[in-house]
Amino acid sequence: MPQPLNSNAGTDHGLDDRPQLATDGHGTWVAGWVSDDSLGGTLGSDLDLLTARSTDGGAIWTAPTALNANAASDAGADGAPAWSRMGTGPGVAVWESNDTLGGTLAGDHDILMAHSIDGGAHWSAPHALDPSAATDGRRDLAPALATDGPVCGTPSGRAWAACSVRMATS
């Protein structure tokens, strides 16, 4: 019988939408989705990205937590997540958001990203993927990720080798 992945499914009244999964191929799975659930009042009522993790092939999942570290204080809507595989190297999550990241972005929709170097247990602070996001004025929407294997990058996650994440705008 199917079971809910998010352990608060029986009591939450929030939207749970756009689920995404990533795995390391060795039993660790990371799930992420868009939600307006406040997680018991710890988050606002705007859309945020929630995540849960399993290290036993999906039999047991952690309680949902916010992926974006600014979820408790941001006012922007986060949506349309995409995830990379969690194999060798950091895992990457990207999403669209109209949050200003504390005034560093203009508030138009931009593609934000975070990375995890421990299989999705912890995530970096979100930052804009496009270096011109603070001034571009474009509505960057619906990100997608494709890799040719492991995702490579600097420890800060701000620079990416040609083998990993490529950005395109239209």
- Return d(Cα 28, Cα 120) in angstroms, integer: 9
Could you give the percent of the chain with pLDDT greater than 90?
8
> At residue 160, does pLDDT exceed 50?
no
pLDDT in tens, 19-45: 888 888 888 888 889 988 888 888 887
- Which DSSP letter does residue 125 get? P
Question: Residue 168's pLDDT is what?
Answer: 46
**Domain segments of the chain as ranges:** 16-128
> At residue 59, does pLDDT exceed 60?
yes
Confidence of residue 77 (pLDDT cuts 50, 70, 90): confident
Decide which of 169 and 118 is more confident.
118
- Return d(Cα 30, Cα 24) in angstroms, integer: 9
> At residue 70, does pLDDT exceed 50?
yes
Q: Take residue 149 and report the two structure tokens written for it.
A: 């294997």
Question: Which strands sit side by side in the sheet containing 91-97, from one edge to the other?
Answer: 78-83, 91-97, 110-116, 127-128
Q: What does the pLDDT average to over 59-63?
A: 89
Decide which of 1 and 85 is more confident.
85
Question: Residue 1's pLDDT is what?
Answer: 59
Query: Which among 61, 100, 63 has a CA at the least distance from the CA of 78?
Result: 100
Confidence of residue 114 (pLDDT cuts 50, 70, 90): very high
> At residue 9, does pLDDT exceed 70?
yes
Question: Residue 167's pLDDT is what?
Answer: 46
